[in-house]
Amino acid sequence: MVIVAVFYFAIPFTLMIAGEMYISSGLASIIFANMPIAVMITSTLFLGLRLSPHQFAGLFISVASLYLILSNELSIGGNNLLIGSGALALAVIIHAIMYVMVQKHCKDIQVITYNAIPSFIASLLLFITSFAFENITVQAFSSSSLIAVAYLGVFASVGGIVAYFKLGQLSTPFAASICFLIFPLVALSLSALTSGTVISDQSLMLLFPLLSGILLAKLPRNKLSLNLFKMRYKSA
């Protein structure tokens, strides 16, 4: 529980919030859309997952597309974008490793239990760290910031995490990971609507191969071969 609290909640979520101080929510969502790829790589390393040729192809397409998007955006945004993207990428890596470990060791634990207890421990650790290293001025708290914190706590953290892990229990990991493909589309739309910040047209065009590569990489080993067999059978 302590390991999950530190490495699944405290450190990654701090990196996410810190990273989004330097990059837009749209670009952050594009980086986080690669979570299924990161989980697949860590599953290969730690769980002995074997990949088929089409999964390797999807992995290459998605990583290459993300590299081109980041290269394009970093050339526009400079060093601050590099810091923000690095923080988000590190959060994705840590999350992916912990997700694999949770799947391996916490399968029989109820979803709310192994989310609630580590969340509580992480919140205590973050409060202690905040009081030790940050200059807190309660008088500077605004109503909008308090509402934002409440929204992040109830919907983005508790609701979102519990819903995702519950989805993983009710469906296959492949089906659950599809939600990561929706993140960039929603975030980019809301970012453009609320703040007027959008990524470049070239990066938007690269979203298609990125999401297609992730979808191809997450397609199960026997799924594609079965569909190809059915197509050949019908044509024959």
Answering whether pTM is above 0.85, one says no
Count of domains for the chain: 1
Burial class, 194, CB count within 10 angstroms (exposed 0-12 / middle 13-18 / buried 19+) = exposed
CA 25/CA 138 separation, integer angstroms: 27
Q: Residue 177 has what pLDDT?
A: 65
Q: Residue 11 has what pLDDT?
A: 94
Residue 227's identity, in one-letter code, is N
The residue among 121, 96, 90 whose CA lies nearest residue 28 is: 90
Q: Residue 52 has what pLDDT?
A: 78
Q: How many CB atoms lie within 10 A of CB 50?
A: 8
Note the residue count of the chain: 236
Mean pLDDT, consecutive 10-residue stretches, the chain (236 aa), reads: 89 89 80 80 77 80 82 65 88 87 75 80 91 85 89 80 72 63 75 72 82 78 53 52
Q: Residue 229 has what pLDDT?
A: 45
Residues 6+ positions from 122 with CB-CB distance below 8 Å: 5, 6, 9, 10, 13
CA 111/CA 168 separation, integer angstroms: 10
Range of the domain at 50: 2-133+140-235
